[in-house]
């Protein structure tokens, strides 16, 4: 394996990088990820995007459905139902985007899936928290069920994916450093 000549002026340690196997421009592989992770997260992102569309439709129809568009919600004394619904639409679009990014990187088995997986996990935990804390009393059982059986487990799974990708990256780095040490010892 050799470094492209065009990189030699940019990378002063091109020989060292080549011997370690980390050639600039080459995609890194996350070998520690399960093969189902990519399709799973892509599907979850698509479902979340559809849900955001349902919420957006709800946002558009609030005045027809609800003559009093002021509601009491959670920690807020009152807020506009339209504002509340739109905030969830935007949040769910962001969550769907991160699920898709995580899924795409996991599908392509990229090491840098760790950061989007961590962000996705954090968003899922935030989603669970605000769903359970801001839902009206009549919706709390559903909010808690979604939090306990969907959002929190998915968030934990995201952190597990991030941890596996990081562990695989560290193992490859340690192996490359070991090979470099063996190579220098024989030279």
Higher pLDDT, 183 or 52: 52
Q: How confident is the model at residue 186 (pLDDT cuts 50, 70, 90)?
A: confident
Give the domain range for residue 92.
36-186
Note the residue count of the chain: 187
Q: Is the pLDDT of residue 124 over 90?
A: yes
pLDDT at 71: 53
Residue 8 covered by a domain: no
Q: What is the pLDDT of residues 164-173, one digit of tens each?
A: 988 888 888 8
**Residue 4: inside a domain:** no
Average confidence (pLDDT) over 64-77 = 50
What pTM, to 2 d.p., does this model score?
0.72
User: Of residues 104 and 10, which shows the higher confidence score?
Assistant: 104
Least confident of 61-70, 152-161, 169-178: 61-70
108 in a domain, yes or no? Answer: yes
The number of distinct structural domains making up the chain is 1
Q: What percent of the chain has pLDDT over 90?
A: 40
Q: Which residues make Cβ contacts (< 8 Å) with residue 38, sequence separation at least 6? A: 103, 104, 105, 106, 107, 108, 109
Among residues 55, 54, 18, 25, which one has the least CA distance to residue 180?
A: 18
| Per-residue pLDDT tens digits for 15-61 | 554 544 544 444 445 557 888 999 999 999 999 999 999 888 877 77
Please report whether residue 182 resides in a domain.
Answer: yes
* pLDDT in the model for residue 68: 53
Average pLDDT of the chain is 79
Is residue 167 domain-resident? yes
pLDDT given at position 3: 44
Average pLDDT over residues 147-162: 95
Q: Would the pLDDT of 77 be above 50?
A: no
Give the Cα separation of 49 and 42 in Å (integer): 11
pLDDT band per the 50, 70, 90 thresholds, residue 175: confident
SS (H, E, C) 27-59: CCECCCCCCCHHHHHHHHHHHHHHHHHHHHHHH
The verdict on residue 18 lying in a domain is no
């Amino acid at each position: 394996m050799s470094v492209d000549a065009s990189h030699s002026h940019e990378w002063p340690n091109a020989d060292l990088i080549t011997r370690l196997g980390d050639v600039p421009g080459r995609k890194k592989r996350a070998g520690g990820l399960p093969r189902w992770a990519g399709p799973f997260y892509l599907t979850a992102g698509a479902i979340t995007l559809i849900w955001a569309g349902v919420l957006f439709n709800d946002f558009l129809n609030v005045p027809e459905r609800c003559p009093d568009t002021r509601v009491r919600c959670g920690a807020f004394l009152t807020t506009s139902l339209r504002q509340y619904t739109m905030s969830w639409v935007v949040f769910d679009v962001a969550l769907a985007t991160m699920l898709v990014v995580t899924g795409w990187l996991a599908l392509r088995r990229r090491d840098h899936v760790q950061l989007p997986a961590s962000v996705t996990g954090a968003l899922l935990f935030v989603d669970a928290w605000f769903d359970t804390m801001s839902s009206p009393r009549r919706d709390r059982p559903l909010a808690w069920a979604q939090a306990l059986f969907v959002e929190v487990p998915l968030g934990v799974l995201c952190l597990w994916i991030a941890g596996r990708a990081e562990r695989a990256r560290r193992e490859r780095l340690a192996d490359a450093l070991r090979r470099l040490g063996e190579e220098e010892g024989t030279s």
